Structure 1
Amino acid sequence: MNLRNKVIIITGGTSGVGRQLVALLCHNNTVIVITRHTTRLTELTDAHQNIHVFSADLSDSKQYKGLAQKVQRRFPIVDVLINNAAVQNTQMFTDTNFKYETIAQEINVNFNAICSLSYLFLPNLKNANEQAIILNINSGLALVPKKSSAVYCASKAAMNIFSQSLNYQLEQTNISVLQAFLPLVDTPMTQGRGASKLSSEQAAVEIIKGLEKQIPINNIGKVKLLRVLTTLAPPLARKLLKRS
């Protein structure tokens, strides 16, 4: 796909990988950013051109329809939907500070929003003049979980299967569903966790390369090695990731 003069929706575009995607894509495209951080939205529009911002809390599923309607009134055609927004709670169910309400919130942002926005924006994507793409930003933890962040790991695994199934459903349309699987990336979400992180800038570059080439499963960085381990030595992969 030639990423010029496209209308691109990016969720979670004010920090981390999402912000880098916005910065790289906005020069030659119209970028629609969906996020709940209104102060960061102002900073984003001041820093970049060709950006249109819509504020929504994706942890609240009641906001999805209204959000889609607002976007559709201004942008009847969408070429690319990048489902990037995600949250990860590291508390375990056995921790005394675990908050029950975070379960639904995390599932909504990491999975429900992906399913819902993919459906709600289908008419816009079908209106694209050429090929349209839904790109779901996934994680190596969709392949092998770690001990903490059980809901995050499960939601990413669900995204993986959903993406493949939806791609089957859309085979006779102009829409393809792609995934980018990320290793541990240096973002605000991962502060204080892990080492040897991939920079958010490099992650965004690799995501865009996969988008341009329309790679269905784009394994980025150490996820390539994880794929090999899950095939050749599953117990070792589980051991390495368990306490990651």
Structure 2
Amino acid sequence: MELKNSTVLITGGTSGIGLELVKQLTEQGANVIATGRNLDTLNETRKRFPKVHTFQSDVSNPAAIEQLYAEVTSQFPELNIIVNNAGLMRLIDLQDTTLDLENINREIVTNLSGTIQMVHQFLPHLLTKKSAAIVNVSSGIAFMSYSSAPVYSATKAGVRAYTQALRLQLENTSVKVFEMIPPGVNTNLQNDWVLQPNPRMMMDVDKMINVVIKGLLRDKPELKPTMVSVIKFASRMVPNTLLKFGHREFKKFKELNKK
């Protein structure tokens, strides 16, 4: 995939993986558009990267996606790549009755529904381009349910399944479909967690996005580091062992929540 002179829209582009994508895609010579819900962080992103264009938008809101599409395609008709990166990950005890239905649904509408709706809205435009791409961000957890983050696990498995189906349906078109599959990555995604992840199990965000850039340039459908390949293999060979290993974290999380 040619990145230089491409026009790339990144949802959730003001922090973590999204912000690092902004940085490295800009270095590749791409014209970058970043979206986010928070106006302050959008302004900070624009100050840090003056050439980047920003739009305030929320992928969990269908009306906001429609408005984003109208504004972006009008101002940037050359848009040819979208990266569905906006995401939310929370540690949740499913026996916690204080969570109402709207709250428990929050990750689904951001991570899964938001990705599907963004693709549905922007696909007709992308199909008009000689070379275009969709990059959906799933997770290593798509191969291994993480009991501490049950809703997140479900959404990322859903993103993976949807992306595979999308790739098949678009196989004879000009639109390439990529799946970015990060392991645990050191970002602000975990800032509010009562149980912080083991830093030895986490990957630096710049190294992860370096893998992504190299994979895009080589047209690799799955953009993943070696760590994720190991998780994928282990999920086939010793799935129960892997699940139990991750579940130890939930027990720690539940004990911390009691305090």
Q: TM-score, normalised by structure 2?
A: 0.88
What SS does structure 1 have at the residue aligned with 2:136?
strand
Structure with greater helix share of residues: 2
**1:110 and 2:111 aligned:** yes
Alignment of 1:1-244 (within 5 A): 1-27=1-27, 28-129=29-130, 131-191=131-191, 192-196=196-200, 197-244=202-249
Separation (CA, whole Å) in 2 of partners of 1:81 and 1:209? 17
Separation (CA, whole Å) in 2 of partners of 1:14 and 1:99? 28
Structure with greater strand share of residues: 1
Say if 1:126 and 1:141 are closer, same or farther in 2 by CA, change over 3 A.
same
Hey, which bits of structure 1, 4+ residues long, moved more than 6 A?
A: none
Separation (CA, whole Å) in 2 of partners of 1:98 and 1:193? 23
Separation (CA, whole Å) in 1 of partners of 2:197 and 2:150? 16
Say if 1:175 and 1:40 are closer, same or farther in 2 by CA, change over 3 A.
same
For the aligned residue pairs, the C-alpha RMSD in angstroms reads 1.6
What SS does structure 2 have at the residue aligned with 1:145?
coil
Conservation of the 8 A alpha-carbon contact between 1:180 and 1:207 = yes
Letter in 2 for 1:4: K
What SS does structure 1 have at the residue aligned with 2:179?
strand
Q: Which is further off, 219-228 or 15-24?
A: 219-228
Separation (CA, whole Å) in 2 of partners of 1:54 and 1:238? 39
Q: Shift of the alpha carbon at 1:34? A: 1.2
Letter in 1 for 2:88: V
Q: Shift of the alpha carbon at 1:187? A: 0.6
Q: Shift of the alpha carbon at 1:79? A: 1.9
What SS does structure 1 have at the residue aligned with 2:163?
helix
Percent identity of equivalent pairs: 30
Q: Shift of the alpha carbon at 1:97? A: 4.4
